[in-house]
Structures are given as structure tokens and as C-alpha cells.
């Protein structure tokens, strides 16, 4: 059994609006929930969920000149975690994309690449050395979070079974991560 005492599980944007029926649904997004819940039951020091938490007129919305439909507006059902995601293991929530004029794909930094979400400080404060990352969408927010975790110096692993992307084939996104030294890990190796 793996020692997870200096490890954190990061659940990226597993929210109603990214699941089937949501405003910006990831195909088969709900297909990760069983794997995510199984991962979260392991003895990680922390289980951290990131959450898009946008103001009503956020810059990423197509109604404001952005590229995405209105999604994950702070305080709405779409921004909530699904009821099928076990809440008990989650120890911390990092909200991102909270400023009207700036988006944030990564759980670590806003898209301006200068404004921190607080995730790196939280991990360092918890004495975390190793992160396991999963969630939605693999080819956007998960990849951005993983690459920033590597940049911040964490030993970083991704569990493909617990990720879904917008693109039907996850191969390109996973190859990009492996080239950066990210380990792809199977659910049954924990």
C-alpha cells in the first residue's frame, strides 16, 4: 500500500455544469464519479476540490465576448458539486475564476499566470510533496492544473480513469502530460 501521508488528491472542477445536462457538459463526465469516490477513500493527507465560481457577467462567457456558455455561476446549482460526489473526504475547496475580468483554468493560477488561487500555499502549508490529480475537463482545466503542479515542484500523478475531456480521445492530452514527467497511474495501484 502506498504511503499517502504527504500526498494530496486534487479533484478538478467536478461540478454540475460540467456533467451531462449541465451548461458546459463534458461527454461522459459523470463516468468518472465512481473512480473519484474510490480514490477519495484512500488516506490522503488532504482531498482538495477546485471549483469554478464565476460572477454572473464573467469574461469567459460568450455573452461577454468569451468562448464558453454561461456556466458555474457562484451560488447556483450548476456551480455545486454533484450529489453523487462523496463530500466527506473533501478537506478543502479552492474556488477559481472568481474575478469578472479574469478566467482561471488551473487550480493554481489565474490565466494571467500571475494571480494565485492559494492552492500552492495550501499544499506547502500542509507539507505536501506529491499530488494525484483527476477531474474535468482533461484537455483544459485538468491539464492546466497538472502542468502548474509540476512547475511548482510537486511529484505529480494523474489517474486517467478518473478524468474525461472535451476531445473524445484523451491520448494527446495524456502524452503532453507524460512529456512533462507526469506519471499516469491506474486506480487499482493505490
Domains and CATH numbers, the chain: 7-184 (3.40.50.850)
Active site annotation includes 163: no
Which of helix, strand or coil describes residue 159?
strand
Q: How many helices (DSSP H) and strands (DSSP E) are in the chain?
A: 4, 6
- Cα separation, 131 vs 118, in Å, equals 15
Q: pTM for this structure?
A: 0.97
Whether the predicted pLDDT of 55 surpasses 60: yes
pLDDT of residue 1: 56
Active site annotation includes 28: no
Active site annotation includes 72: no
Which of helix, strand or coil describes residue 180?
coil
- Cα separation, 31 vs 27, in Å, equals 9
Q: What are the beta bridge partners of residue 49?
A: 11, 93
Catalytic residue selected from 30, 52, 96, 185: 96
Please write the tens of the pLDDT for every residue from 131-156. Answer: 999 999 999 999 999 999 999 999 99
Mean pLDDT of all residues in 32-60: 97
Q: What are the beta bridge partners of residue 184?
A: 158
- Cα separation, 27 vs 165, in Å, equals 7
* Contact yes or no for 50/13 (Cβ under 8 A): yes
- Cα separation, 63 vs 187, in Å, equals 39
Catalytic residue selected from 13, 17, 30, 120: 13
Beta strands in 19-122 (DSSP E): 46-52, 92-96
DSSP class of 141: I
Tell me what percent of the residues of the chain surpass a pLDDT of 90: 94
Amino acid at each position: 500500500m502506498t504511503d499517502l501521508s504527504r500526498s494530496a488528491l486534487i479533484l478538478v472542477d467536478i461540478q454540475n455544469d460540467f456533467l451531462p445536462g449541465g451548461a458546459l457538459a463534458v461527454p461522459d463526465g459523470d463516468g468518472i464519479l465512481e473512480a473519484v469516490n474510490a480514490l477519495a477513500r484512500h488516506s490522503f493527507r488532504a482531498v482538495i476540490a477546485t471549483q469554478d465560481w464565476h460572477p454572473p457577467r464573467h469574461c469567459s462567457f460568450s455573452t461577454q465576448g468569451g468562448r464558453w456558455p454561461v456556466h458555474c455561476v457562484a451560488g447556483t446549482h450548476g456551480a455545486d458539486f454533484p450529489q453523487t460526489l462523496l463530500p466527506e473526504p473533501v478537506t478543502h475547496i479552492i474556488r477559481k475564476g472568481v474575478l469578472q475580468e479574469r478566467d482561471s483554468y488551473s487550480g493554481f493560477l489565474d490565466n494571467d499566470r500571475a494571480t494565485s488561487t492559494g492552492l500552492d500555499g495550501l499544499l506547502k502549508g500542509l507539507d505536501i510533496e506529491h499530488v494525484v490529480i483527476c477531474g474535468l475537463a482533461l484537455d483544459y482545466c485538468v491539464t492546466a492544473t497538472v502542468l502548474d503542479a509540476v512547475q511548482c515542484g510537486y511529484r505529480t500523478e494523474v489517474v486517467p480513469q478518473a478524468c474525461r475531456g472535451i476531445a473524445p480521445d484523451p491520448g494527446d492530452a495524456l502524452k503532453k502530460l507524460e512529456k512533462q514527467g507526469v506519471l499516469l497511474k491506474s486506480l487499482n495501484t493505490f
